[in-house]
Structure 1
Amino acid sequence: MLELNSCVSLGGKTYRLEKLLGKGKGGYSYLSSCGGEFFVVKQIHHEPCSYYTFGDKIQSELNDYSRLKASGIRIPRMISCDTKNERLVKEFIDGPTVESLAQSGLLMPEYIEQAEEMCRILYPLGLNIDYYPTNFIVRDGLLYYIDYECNSYSDEWNFENWGKKYWVNRCLSGEEK
């Protein structure tokens, strides 16, 4: 874990770590500033995860980003990557998460429709994404998948059988992951 208010350098720029945005299976994400703009710095971690097997995490991030970018779904642009220190910088997508919208009773049907549209793009490519509701941000009425994780398609982990139920049922009941 990186220290808040410290700075990291990537791609010839210095980013100040302002706030911890969250911890996922693969890393910590920080709201960071550089030149008056906000970005996300993700630091890969190697903490154990009982339900997921990893290979080379930073290479997986790069490979998954390439696949998702090629798919055309809305994701944050990758700004820079430091494979040696296992860090990357992403575009910051400002807005509420699907989880916070659901918990506030503001999860609109059009956000579910937009997720289903992503599925119509991803499934023929043989891909699932991590449909956990904190991985989606709404900005200006548009849904963005802010993680880069994607896996081979399986019915068990598709939106209809896992993600959608999680969005609608568990988020609204306030259950934790």
Structure 2
Amino acid sequence: METIKVNEKEFKIIKLLGKGKGGYSYLVSYDKEKYVVKQIHHEPCEYYQFGNKIEAELSDYNKLYSTGIRMPKMLDIDMKNERILKEFIEGYTIYELALEDKVRPSYIKQIKNMCEILYPLNINIDYFPTNFIVSNELLWYIDYECNDYMEEWNFENWGIKYWSKTPELIEYYNKNKN
């Protein structure tokens, strides 16, 4: 079985959860507990410019954590190997739920409540539906990325396009289903 270390602590890799523009996220276990390890990657991204990704993750985490929005705790960070150990949130992504027409009005209300906290602080998060998990009917933002607020990239103008079976969501699904 494959393993991955975070600051010399070794975790068993259960499976790859997904790949984002900044890294790969793995479901891992240690002593019967589940966690997520994000391994930063340096693959090119044509629509996004990065500085130091691991420092940005830590800075974004601290900024978002201070807002009080629901997000997994960062449990450890391995700066040298560019790995982050996160609390694991069990549930389905909004992406999975949107594809099955199961996004409830309460989830939209919860994201709008997050926006009411973030917008006045000049913060946008990545509203793409793979970045949100529903666990026990509560919405969690499972990424740490945040940027300065821009109306073009807020939930109402961009994110909402992917939170139901819209042409944009179906196009994304068809491009990425393999």
TM-score when normalising by structure 1: 0.93
Alignment of structure 1 residues 100-115 onto 2, 5 Å: 100-115=96-111
Once residues 114 and 46 of structure 2 are traced to their aligned partners in structure 1, the CA distance between those partners, rounded to angstroms, is: 28
For structure 1, list consecutive stretches of 5 or more residues without a partner in the other structure. Answer: none
Describe the superposition over 1:5-59 as per-residue Cα deviations: whole angstroms up to 9, x where unpaired.
Answer: 3222224532111100000000000000011010001000000000000000000
Once residues 131 and 152 of structure 1 are traced to their aligned partners in structure 2, the CA distance between those partners, rounded to angstroms, is: 14
1:129 matches 2:161:
no
Q: Name the counterpart of 2:94.
A: 98
For structure 2, list consecutive stretches of 5 or more residues without a partner in the other structure. Answer: 174-178
Q: CA deviation at 1:168?
A: 2.5
Describe the superposition over 1:60-112 as per-residue Cα deviations: whole angstroms up to 9, x where unpaired.
Answer: 00000001100000000001100000001100101000011111111101101
1:45 matches 2:62:
no
Among candidates 127, 147, 152, match of residue 148 of structure 2: 152
1:31 matches 2:27:
yes
Once residues 14 and 132 of structure 2 are traced to their aligned partners in structure 1, the CA distance between those partners, rounded to angstroms, is: 21
Q: Is the 8 A contact 2:161 2:169 kept in 1?
A: no
Q: Partner of 2:38: helix, strand, or coil? A: strand
Q: Name the counterpart of 1:6.
A: 2
CA pair 71-93 structure 1, distance change in 2 beyond 3 A = same
Once residues 173 and 128 of structure 1 are traced to their aligned partners in structure 2, the CA distance between those partners, rounded to angstroms, is: 20
RMSD of the alignment, in Å? 1.5
1:163 matches 2:159:
yes
Q: Paired residues, what number?
A: 173
Q: CA deviation at 1:172?
A: 8.5
Among candidates 6, 16, 27, match of residue 20 of structure 1: 16
Q: CA deviation at 1:164?
A: 1.1
> After TM superposition, which residue ranges in structure 1, 4 or more long, deviate above 4 angstroms?
none
Alignment of structure 1 residues 60-71 onto 2, 5 Å: 60-71=56-67
Identity %, equivalent residues: 57
